[in-house]
Amino acid sequence: MVICITGASSGIGEAAALRLAREEGATLVLVARREERLRAVAERCGADATWIAVDLTDDDAPERVRSHLVERHDGRLDILVNNAGSSWPARFAEGGYENVRRTMTLNFDAPVRLTEALLPLLRADDGGAVVNVGSTAGRVARARTGAYSASKFALAGWTDALWSEERRHGVHVGLVQPGFVVTEGFPQRELTESVRTRWAVSRPEVVAEAIAACALDGVAERYSPRGYWLAAAARILAPRLVRRVLSGPGSGRMTPATNPDA
């Protein structure tokens, strides 16, 4: 069973690699930019593992990953985990379109382009699975994470459609929606510093179990930790309340007197 994981050099991707390496017959293909980190994760996996150091936003990245699979793994691919991603928090007035473009390129375009290149390999043999790592921010948006939410909303919509389309071809498509998780790229310091909010923060290993459930057990969508589905449900059922809670005190139409940024 050949499993390709992007963003495997740290955080959730690294935890997913270590978790899926425990499956019998697993061969891991680890993808990210930092080669030394990939090598170290491959050694810790203890299973067959190869790696390819590539910037997934490069034009030739999908073809380089495909060639690696053809040359090193006879073109076999059973599971693709699209996990690599990042966030550059900024209000739209500060980050502008350039921040949206940069975020979409990594968090949305890159997994779409990689999936396009690898889908023929996944469809071959007995069919495979794609697991996209989205975010609870892909169903609920907050200030300063508009670009990130846009990329993850897009990923969620595309994943839902792909799930329907690929069933007939034997390819299962799953979506993992993490909540707040402490990793290198998302240190969550604001939340972990206070005892009032620390409980809301999870670990990469918990998300890795959700990835395994989507990849191996046919789960279509899983929030991780699971309770985060309530945030997505509340956004649909009580949008005014959610807006008010996420915007903080004084939300509604801002006047100079109530605007914290004024």
Ligand X SMILES: NC(=O)c1ccc[n+]([C@@H]2O[C@H](COP(=O)([O-])OP(=O)(O)OC[C@H]3O[C@@H](n4cnc5c(N)ncnc54)[C@H](OP(=O)(O)O)[C@@H]3O)[C@@H](O)[C@H]2O)c1
Interacting residue ranges for ligand X, rule: CB under 6 A? 7-13, 32-34, 37, 55-57, 83-86, 106, 133, 135, 178, 180-181, 183-186
Q: How far lies 141's CA from each of 95, 144, 153, 231, in Å? A: 16, 9, 9, 10
CB contact at 8 A, 178 and 193: no
Cβ of residue 156: shortest distance to ligand X, in angstroms? 11
Task: Specify the 3-state DSSP secondary structure of 66.
Answer: helix
Return all residues near 242 (Cβ < 8 A) that are at least 6 apart.
140, 231, 234, 235
Please confirm, yes or no, whether 148 is among the known catalytic residues.
yes
Cβ of residue 84: shortest distance to ligand X, in angstroms? 4
Beta strands 79-82 and 48-53 are unpaired
Of 44 and 169, the one with the shorter C-beta distance to ligand X is: 44
The amino acid present at 5, given as its one-letter code, is I
Of 124 and 191, the one with the shorter C-beta distance to ligand X is: 191
How many C-beta atoms surround the C-beta of residue 141 within 10 A?
18
Determine which one of 97, 148, 223, 228 is catalytic: 148
Q: Where are the alpha helices (DSSP H) in the chain?
A: 11-20, 35-45, 61-73, 92-104, 110-123, 146-166, 189-192, 204-217, 229-237, 239-247
Of 56 and 77, the one with the shorter C-beta distance to ligand X is: 56
Q: What single DSSP character describes residue 183? A: -
- Any bridge partners for residue 53, and if so which? 32
Cβ of residue 192: shortest distance to ligand X, in angstroms? 11
Of 11 and 174, the one with the shorter C-beta distance to ligand X is: 11
Cβ of residue 49: shortest distance to ligand X, in angstroms? 15
Q: Indicate which residues carry an active-site annotation.
A: 148
